[in-house]
Amino acid sequence: MDVVLEARNVTKQYPQQLALDNLNLTVHQGDIYGLVGRNGAGKTTLLKTLLQLIAPTAGTVTLFGEPVDQAHIAMLRRVGSIIETPSAFGELTALENMRYFCLAQGIVTPHAAEDSLQFVGLTGTGKKKVKNFSLGMKQKLGLALAILKKPDLLLLDEPINGLDPIAIADFRQLLLKLNREQNTTILISSHILDELFHLATRFGFIDQGRMVRELTKDEFVAETAQYIRIETSDMPALTRALTNAQVAHFKVVASKELHVFDEKRSISALNQALVSAGVPVTGISQEGQNLEDYFKMLLSDTHQEVRQNA
Ligand SMILES: Nc1ncnc2c1ncn2[C@@H]1O[C@H](COP(=O)(O)OP(=O)(O)OP(=O)(O)O)[C@@H](O)[C@H]1O
C-alpha cells in the first residue's frame, strides 16, 4: 500500500520543552489514522510540523513519496487541514466564508463553495453569521473549508473536541463518507481513544513527544479483545460442549486452558451450560482490556522505560 505521509525521527525542541522526540509515523493511502495522546503529548506540534507550519529541529517529513521542503511546498496543495480552531470569519455567513476562501485559494471550479457546504450538510444556514453557529456547525464549516481543494490528505487536530455525542457521530459519518466516496486519506488526533475507535483504521499512540505504538485496527482489536478464559481437566468434553452450545469462536491455548470470544455470552450462562453438560470446569473468568485501560497500559510502559533510561 502506498505511503502518503511519513515522519522519520522528527524532533522539535522548544527552549524549555522537548515537544517531539525522534518521532516516527507512517500513514498509508486510504487510512483513517487515529493519533491518540493525552493533553500536551505533542499532537498539535506534530500536525503543525507535518504541515510545515513549524520547522522540526531534526528529522524528515515525506509527503506523497517526496520530502517536504521549500522546493516541494506545492505538494501541500494536496493537503487540507483543521488545526486548532477553524479559520472562518465570524461576521460572514457560511457561504460568504466559502466564497472568500475560494478566491483566496484561487479555486475557480464552479459551485465549489456550494458543493463543499452541501457535503457537510450546511446548506440551510442562510443569513446566519458564523459567530452565531453552534460548535458542531463551526466544525462542519471548518471541514467544508478544509475540503474545498478536494485534498488527497486531510489533517484534523482534535476536531471533535467539545462536541456533544450526536455532533460527534455526525462528524464521524462525514469523515467516513469522505474516506469512502472520495478516497481521502485522513489523519485525526484526539485525546479520547473511544472517539476514534469506531472511525480509525490505524492508530498511533503518542506520549511525551514519542510514538509509543502504531498498529492497525485489526491488531488493536486482537490485543484488546474481551474473552472468557476457561480451565478444565477434560478439554475434549469442554470443546464438545461448546460446539453443542453453538459457541463459534473459541481457541484452545494450552492443554487445560481455552478462550471463548463471543460478546453475547455471559460468563454465568456459559458456566451453567458447561456444568449442566458435565464438563469439569476448574476455573472461569472474564479477561481482556477496555480501550482506556489499554491506553494507560501503553503509557505506563513508556514511563517505566523513560525512568529506566534516565
Ligand atoms: N510554541 C511553543 N513554545 C514552547 N512550548 C510549546 C509550544 N507549543 C507547544 N509547546 C509544548 O510542547 C508540548 C506539546 O504540546 P502540544 O500542543 O503539541 O500537545 P497536544 O498533544 O496537542 O496537547 P493538547 O491535547 O493539550 O492540545 C507541551 O508541553 C507544550 O507546552
User: Does 17 contact ligand 1 (Cβ within 6 A)?
Assistant: yes
Same structural domain for residues 20 and 82? Answer: yes
Please provide the distance, in angstroms rounded to a whole number, between the alpha carbons at the two ends of the chain. Answer: 38
The answer, yes or no, to whether any atom of ligand 1 lies below 6 A from the CB of 14, is yes
pLDDT at residue number 310: 52
Euclidean distance between CA atoms 80 and 147, whole angstroms? 6
Same domain for 208 and 242, yes or no, is: no
Which residue has the CA at smallest separation from atom 1 of ligand 1? Answer: 14
Q: Give Cβ neighbours of residue 147 (< 8 Å, ≥ 6 apart).
A: 80, 116, 119, 120, 154, 178, 184
Residue showing cell 490485543: 223
**Which pLDDT tens digit goes with each residue over 72-86?**
777 888 999 999 766
pLDDT at 224: 80
pLDDT attached to residue 70: 66
Mean pLDDT of 138-159: 93
Q: Quick one: pLDDT at residue 305? A: 55
Mean pLDDT, rounded, for 267-291: 89
Whether 142 lines ligand 1, by a CB cut-off of 6 Å, is no
| 299 domain-assigned | no
Distance CA 90, CA 133 (A): 9
CA 17 to ligand 1 centroid distance, Å: 9
Do 41 and 129 fall into the same domain?
yes
Q: Is pLDDT larger for residue 197 or for residue 185? A: 185
**Residue (of 226, 289, 16, 20) closest to 300 by Cα position:** 289
Same domain, 176 and 84: yes
3-state per-residue secondary structure call for 14-36: CCCCEEEEEEEEEEECCCEEEEE
Q: Are residues 127 and 266 in the same domain?
A: no
* Ligand 1 atom closest to Cα of residue 54: 1
Atom 27 (ligand 1) nearest CA? 39
Quick check: CB of 39 below 6 Å from ligand 1? yes
CA dihedral of residues 159, 160, 166, 170 (deg, nearest 10): 30
Return the pLDDT at 184.
96
Q: Is 34 in the pocket of ligand 1 (CB under 6 A)?
A: no
Task: Note whether 98 and 174 are same-domain residues.
Answer: yes
Atom 23 (ligand 1): residue with closest C-alpha? 40
Please check the confidence at residue 309 and state whether its pLDDT lies above 60: no
47 lines ligand 1 (CB under 6 A): no
Do 203 and 246 fall within a single domain? no
Q: How far is the CA of 222 from the centre of ligand 1 (A)?
A: 32
Please compute the mean of the pLDDT values over residues 34-44 and round it to a whole number.
Answer: 93
> Is residue 12, in this structure, part of any structural domain at all?
yes
CATH number of the domain within which 13 lies: 3.40.50.300
Do 198 and 129 sit in the same domain of this protein? yes
More confident residue, 215 or 222: 215
Q: How far is the centre of ligand 1, averaged over its atoms, from the C-alpha of 163 (Å)?
A: 22
19 in contact with ligand 1, CB cutoff 6 A: yes
Cα separation, 11 vs 19, in Å, equals 7
Between the CA of 307 and the centroid of ligand 1 the distance, in Å, is: 22
Q: Is the model more confident about 67 or about 54? A: 54
For residues 79-106, average pLDDT: 89
pLDDT at 116 over 60: yes
| CATH assignment of the domain containing 255 | 3.30.70.100
Q: Whose CA is nearest to atom 28 of ligand 1?
A: 40
Asked if pLDDT for residue 294 goes beyond 90, the answer is no
Judged against a pLDDT cut of 80, whether residue 262 lies above it is answered with no
Q: Which of 8-17, 106-115, 154-163, 248-257 has the highest mean pLDDT?
A: 8-17
Q: Do 143 and 260 share a domain, yes or no?
A: no
**Domain finish residue from 204, 221, 238:** 221
Are 180 and 269 in a shared domain? no
Does residue 301 lie in a domain region?
no
Evaluate whether residue 28 is within a structural domain.
yes
∠ CA 195-29-114, rounded to 5°: 70
Residue 269 has pLDDT above 80, yes or no: yes
Which residues fall within 8 angstroms of residue 42, CB to CB, at 6 or more apart?
12, 19, 20, 23, 206, 208, 209
Q: What are the strands, taking DSSP E only, across 111-226?
A: 153-157, 185-190, 202-207, 210-216
Task: Give the end of a domain, one of 197, 221, 245.
Answer: 221
pLDDT band at 177, cuts 50/70/90?
A: very high
Q: How far is the CA of 218 from the centre of ligand 1 (A)?
A: 31
Nearest CA to ligand 1 atom 30: 40
| Rg value, the chain, Cα | 24
Is there a single domain that holds both residue 199 and residue 93?
yes
- 134 and 178 in contact (C-beta within 8 Å)? no
Q: Is residue 161 part of a domain?
A: yes
Nearest of 26, 23, 24 to residue 2 by alpha carbon:
26
Question: Is the beta carbon of 49 within 6 A of some atom in ligand 1?
Answer: no
Number of domains, the chain: 2
User: Would 88 be classed as within a structural domain?
Assistant: yes
Q: Are 11 and 157 part of one and the same domain?
A: yes
Q: Strands 66-67 and 32-36, how do they pair?
A: unpaired
**Mean pLDDT of all residues in 268-290:** 90
**How high is the ipTM of this complex?**
0.95
For 73-82, 145-154, 235-244, 299-308, which range has the lowest pLDDT when averaged over its residues? 299-308
Residue closest by Cα to atom 4 of ligand 1: 14
Range of 252's domain?
226-287
Has residue 308 been placed in a domain? no
If one residue of 18, 45, 189, 206 were mutated to test the ligand 1 pocket, choosing by the most ligand atoms within 8 A of its CB, it would be 45
Between 146 and 265, whose confidence is greater? 146
Q: Does the C-beta of 41 come closer than 6 Å to ligand 1?
A: yes
Domain boundary among 221, 249, 279: 221
- Residue 181 belongs to a domain: yes
The arithmetic mean of pLDDT across residues 233-241, rounded, is 96
CB 98 within 8 A of CB 116: yes
